[in-house]
Every structure is written in structure tokens, then in C-alpha cells.
Amino acid sequence: MYIYLKNINKIHFYGKFLYINKANSWLKLNELKSLIFIEILKGNNNFDDLIDKVSKNNFNINYFTFSKIVIDEMKEILEISFKKNKRKKLIYSGIKNKYFPYNIQISLTNKCLHNCLHCYKYSNSIKNKKIDINKLFSFFNYIKNKTPEIEFSGGEPFLYEELDEIINNYYNDFYFSIITSGNWKNNPSPKLVEKFDNIKLTLYGYSKKTHNYFVGNKNSFKKVIKNIQYIQRYNKNLTIQTQVKSNDIEEIENFIKLSIKIGIKNIVFGEVLMIGRAKSNKDNFNNYDFNLIRNNLFSLREKYKGIINISYIDSPKNLSKKNFFNCKAGTLSWSVLETGDITPCTLLIDEIFYLGNIYLEDYKKLINLGFEKYNNIYINNFEKIKNKYKKKGENINNICGSILKK
């Protein structure tokens, strides 16, 4: 009898454990299950041989217990066969007993040609803080072949003059994606556009009036639509992201119809968070119920099924009491700001969430020791964190639904 991996293509080593990506969600294996999985990765697929291997690693396990683990507890990721099959090619990353994240979002600059009503970073065309490319290269050299996914954001990342240089140097080392406003001064080259594995572009209305008002730029809508079409000529992996601003189902459907008209295949709807500029512009956002909108989006998703993929950003369920974040922030996912600061999440830019800085290279300590210390600090100081955000007029749990609730 043989054991094989089942519908798995991404595996990440993190500390003593393995994380398995299945259907775009992460499953954490304990030490015993990680060992079983690693042996299968090595090509040890025979049932009896696996029991022997596991037993030699200080796990007292019999045939019945092993069968229960493999057949019952790991049935979502393993399958049993009575014949020997060919090994499948897998993408795996990280290093055992080290704490490399799986993906990192990097803000290249806080400069942006928009002045969005909801921007949590207050980005605009006047600001011009940008990440140092030489420090970024040193960071990439340390994490390449361990951290597979890099996502660039801003501000507007296409305003970062050295973006071409980054992609050309590290194209074979990472899967690159980018979040763009769709408004830039000069078109990125076709060769640059086609090298991104995924492009997310923000559009904030189905009409010129709605979008331009939201982004604070009277010339934006026409230019963004034109740039969407430019991107599509060289890269089909384009997703439109937008924020819902009202309960108006007709407005949402008109946005979907516009997206279909211009050839978009994927839309993601998100909620406006009451942080950054959104606090002073809250009159624009306080008359909608995102729970109601979810139901409407579900109906529209069914209506346009097969024509366009419609999804929405939702909060993780079943929050853990052991983790401050339930979304893998700080562990499998990091954020690097244009200042070089490392935080668990791009939305959490307060100094209280500081993990390190790529300029100081203290990220090496984070990779060697892991996030657990910070996780415990956040849990033990939850009230302090909550009150600090309260003084700023913000609710920490409204920023991200994955944050521990007490």
C-alpha cells in the first residue's frame, strides 16, 4: 500500500512545521504530520516503510494509530493507492527550523497620483518617500529560494523608477505580483507588464463622476480605463479591486457590467476601513451594511457565473485564542513599508507592530527566532493596543477581522 499527496502544489516549511496550501487556504501540520509529509516528499511512499521511518524519529506509533492519522486525519491532503505511481512535481519553499515568510508585500513608494478618500497611508502626488533599492537587493538575496512570493504596492508602484531593474534581476527567483492604481506618468514597458504573475488594479466606480470623486483626480477615470486596456494587451492575469461605498445594488451591478464590457475576468470587492483618510471622510461611507452587500454579491456572482469571477474580501472564521492574527500575518506573511520597516500586515503601520527593518538587517533575527515572541507580546498587551488605536479614533478589530477578539 502506498501514500501520495492529494491536490497539493504549494508547501512551505516554517519552523518545525509544514504549511500546506489547498484551495487558497493554509493548513498547518503538527510535528508528527509534518514528518510523515516530509518523508513522502522524499519519495518514501510505502505504508510500512513510513511507519518505520516515523518510529525512528522518537514517535512511538503503531500500525492502527498511523492508519488513523493518514486515512482519517490527513485524508484532505493524502490518498492511498495499491500501486506505485509517479511522483508529482511540487512547489515547496522555506527551510525547516527557520521562519521565512511565504509572501511579502512591499510598498516601494508612498507617492501616488491619486488622493483617495479612504487611503490609510495618506498617499498623494506630493509625497515621495521610496525604498532604497540597494537595501532591497540585499534583502532579496537573503530570502530568495526560501520566500517565493513578492507583491509590490505603494503609493503607486509603477512610479518607482527602479522597478524594471528589480524584476530583471530577480525574475527567476520570485513570483511577482503588483497592486496598482492604474494611473502613472509613463506606461511601463510591455516586457515589464508581461513578467508579473498577477496584476491587481483599483477602480472605484462605473462612471467618471464616481471614480474621479473617490480618487480626488478629475482626469483619472479615462486614463485608468485606457491603462486597463494597455495592461490586458500584455498580461491576462488582471484582477480589478474596488471598495463598496453604498448598499446600492444597482451601482454594484453597473460596476460589474462595465468590467465585463472592458474585458475583465476577475473582480474583488472590499470594505472601506475607518482608518487613515476614511475617518475624515466617513460621511461618504457610513450608510452601507457590508453584510447585506455580501448577500447581494453572492446573488450577482451566481447571475454572472461563467462570464466574470466575482469575490469579496471576508474576515477569517473560527478565530484562534493562541494567535493574535488568524490570517498568518507576521508568520507566513510580512509587510515591508517604503521606510524599510517590517510589520505583520500592510494595514498595521503603527510603531507598536514594528518587527524589524530591512535597512538594519534585523529581519535575520526574526527569521532565526520566529514570530512567537511578538505574538505573545500582542496578546499580553491587547488592551494597550486597543486603547492606543481608540485614541486615534480607530477600532483595532475593525481594521482586520482576523485580529484576536477579547
**Residue-level pLDDT, tens digit, the chain, 406 residues:** 777 777 777 889 999 888 988 767 788 888 888 888 888 777 767 878 888 887 877 677 787 888 888 778 887 788 777 776 665 566 789 998 999 999 999 999 999 999 999 999 999 888 789 999 999 999 999 999 999 999 999 999 999 999 999 999 999 999 999 999 999 999 999 999 999 999 999 999 999 999 999 999 999 999 999 999 999 999 999 999 999 888 888 999 999 999 999 999 999 998 888 888 998 898 887 677 877 888 889 999 999 999 999 998 765 555 566 666 777 889 999 999 999 999 999 988 889 999 999 999 999 999 999 998 888 888 888 889 989 988 988 888 777 766 766 5
- Identify whether the C-beta of residue 338 lies closer than 8 Å to the C-beta of residue 108: yes
pLDDT of residue 127: 76
pLDDT of residue 142: 97
Query: What is the distance between the alpha carbons of residues 253 and 249, in angstroms, rounded to a whole number?
Result: 6
In sequence order, what are the residues at sequence separation of 6 or more whose Cβ sits closer than 8 angstroms to the Cβ of residue 141? none
**Fold of the domain built from segment(s) 98-312:** TIM Barrel (3.20.20)
- Identify whether the C-beta of residue 106 lies closer than 8 Å to the C-beta of residue 167: no
Query: What is the distance between the alpha carbons of residues 333 and 371, in angstroms, rounded to a whole number?
Result: 11
Give the dihedral of Cα atoms 181, 183, 188, 193; nearest 10 deg: 40
Beta bridge partners of 240: 201, 267
pLDDT of residue 10: 83
Domain ranges of the chain: 2-95, 98-312, 333-399
pLDDT of residue 241: 97
pLDDT of residue 49: 81
- Identify whether the C-beta of residue 6 lies closer than 8 Å to the C-beta of residue 18: no
pLDDT of residue 62: 80
* Cα end-to-end distance, the chain, whole Å: 48
